[in-house]
Amino acid sequence: MKNFKFTMKSKSLFFILFLISILLLTLYYQNKSSNKSYLYLLQNNYKNTLDNFYSTFRHKLENSYANLNFSLENDVLFDLLDGQKNTEIKNYENYLLKKFKNKNTYLDYINITLIEKNKIHFKSYSLTKRNNHIYIKLSYLLKSKKSSYARVDYFLTSKLLLKSVKMYNNSEGVIYFEDKNKNLLETYLDENRNNETFSILLENCREEHTELKKIKGKFYISKILNLEVLETKSAYQAVFFLDVTKEKNEYISLVKNSLIVSLLLFVFAAISVNFYLNYLINRISKNENDVKQINKNLEKTISKEITKRLKIQQNALEEKQKNEQILIQQSKLAMMGEMIANIAHQWRQPLMQLSAIFMYLDVYQEKGKLNKERFDKKIKDSVQIIDYMSKTIEDFRNYFKPEKQKEVFYIKESLDSALFIIDASLKHSFIETKVICKHNKIKIKSYKNEFSQALLNIISNAKDILIQRKIKDPKITITLCENPTETIISIQDNAQGIDEKIIDKIFEPYFTTKHKALGTGIGLYMSKMIIEKHSNNTLVVENTENGAKFIITIPHKKEET
Q: CB-based contacts of 327: which residues, under 8 Å, 6+ apart?
A: 509, 522, 525, 526
pLDDT at 38 over 80: no
CB atoms under 10 Å from CB of 266, counted, come to 16
pLDDT at 84 over 90: no
pLDDT in the model for residue 260: 78
pLDDT in the model for residue 313: 80
pLDDT in the model for residue 336: 62
Provide the whole-model pTM: 0.43
CB 455 within 8 A of CB 496: no
Query: In whole angstroms, what is the distance from residue 461 CA to residue 438 CA?
Result: 24
Nearest Cα to Cα of residue 40 among 209, 177, 161, 196: 209
Mean pLDDT of 278-283: 66
Query: In whole angstroms, what is the distance from residue 489 CA to residue 540 CA?
Result: 11
Strands (E) across 438-527 are located at: 443-446, 475-482, 486-493
Nearest Cα to Cα of residue 497 among 532, 547, 535: 547
Residue 500, phi then psi, degrees to nearest 5: -60, -25
Q: CB-based contacts of 298: which residues, under 8 Å, 6+ apart?
A: none
The string of pLDDT tens digits covering residues 534-558 is 667 899 999 999 899 999 999 987 6
Angle at 341 between CA 338 and CA 344, to 5 degrees: 150
Q: In what order do the strands lie in the sheet with 184-188?
A: 184-188, 172-178, 235-243, 218-229, 213-215
pLDDT at 53 over 70: yes
The string of pLDDT tens digits covering residues 412-439 is 988 888 888 788 788 888 999 999 987 7
CB 531 within 8 A of CB 537: yes
Q: What is the DSSP letter of 139?
A: E
Query: In whole angstroms, what is the distance from residue 414 CA to residue 458 CA?
Result: 14
Using a pLDDT cut of 70, give the percent of the chain over it.
72
Query: In whole angstroms, what is the distance from residue 83 CA to residue 89 CA?
Result: 10
Q: Which of the four pLDDT bands, split at 50, 70 and 90, describes residue 98?
A: confident
What mean pLDDT, rounded, does the chain reach?
A: 77
pLDDT at 137 over 80: yes
pLDDT in the model for residue 394: 63
- Among 92-96, 101-105, 171-175, the range with the most confident prediction by mean pLDDT is 171-175
CB atoms under 10 Å from CB of 297, counted, come to 10
Using a pLDDT cut of 90, give the percent of the chain over it.
8
pLDDT in the model for residue 56: 92
Query: In whole angstroms, what is the distance from residue 553 CA to residue 556 CA?
Result: 10
CB 134 within 8 A of CB 177: yes
Query: In whole angstroms, what is the distance from residue 544 CA to residue 540 CA?
Result: 13
Q: CB-based contacts of 513: which residues, under 8 Å, 6+ apart?
A: 465, 498, 499, 502
Q: CB-based contacts of 558: which residues, under 8 Å, 6+ apart?
A: none
The string of pLDDT tens digits covering residues 495-540 is 999 988 888 888 887 667 664 444 455 778 878 888 887 667 899 9
> Among 145-154, 206-215, 472-481, where is mean pLDDT lowest?
206-215
pLDDT in the model for residue 492: 94
CB 153 within 8 A of CB 113: yes
pLDDT in the model for residue 281: 65
pLDDT at 474 over 90: yes
> Among 7-11, 180-184, 367-371, 386-390, where is mean pLDDT lowest?
7-11
Query: In whole angstroms, what is the distance from residue 411 CA to residue 514 CA?
Result: 29
pLDDT at 144 over 60: yes
pLDDT in the model for residue 29: 67
pLDDT in the model for residue 553: 93
Q: CB-based contacts of 246: which residues, under 8 Å, 6+ apart?
A: none
CB atoms under 10 Å from CB of 122, counted, come to 12
pLDDT in the model for residue 262: 72
Query: In whole angstroms, what is the distance from residue 45 CA to residue 41 CA?
Result: 6
pLDDT at 325 over 70: no
Residues in a beta bridge with 178 = 184, 235
The string of pLDDT tens digits covering residues 357-415 is 777 777 777 877 778 887 887 787 777 667 666 766 665 565 555 555 788 889 898 88
- In terms of pLDDT, which residue wins out, 251 or 30? 251
- In terms of DSSP H, where are the helices of 210-244? none
CB atoms under 10 Å from CB of 175, counted, come to 23
Query: In whole angstroms, what is the distance from residue 326 CA to residue 320 CA?
Result: 10
CA atoms in the 13 A half-sphere facing the CB of 202: 19
Query: In whole angstroms, what is the distance from residue 327 CA to residue 323 CA?
Result: 6
pLDDT at 17 over 90: no
SS (H, E, C) 462-485: HHHHHHHCCCCCCEEEEEEEECCC
Query: In whole angstroms, what is the distance from residue 444 CA to residue 557 CA?
Result: 9
Mean pLDDT of 466-471: 90
pLDDT in the model for residue 518: 45
CB 400 within 8 A of CB 449: yes
pLDDT in the model for residue 561: 44
- Among 12-26, 427-441, 479-493, 496-510, the range with the most confident prediction by mean pLDDT is 479-493
The string of pLDDT tens digits covering residues 261-270 is 777 776 776 6
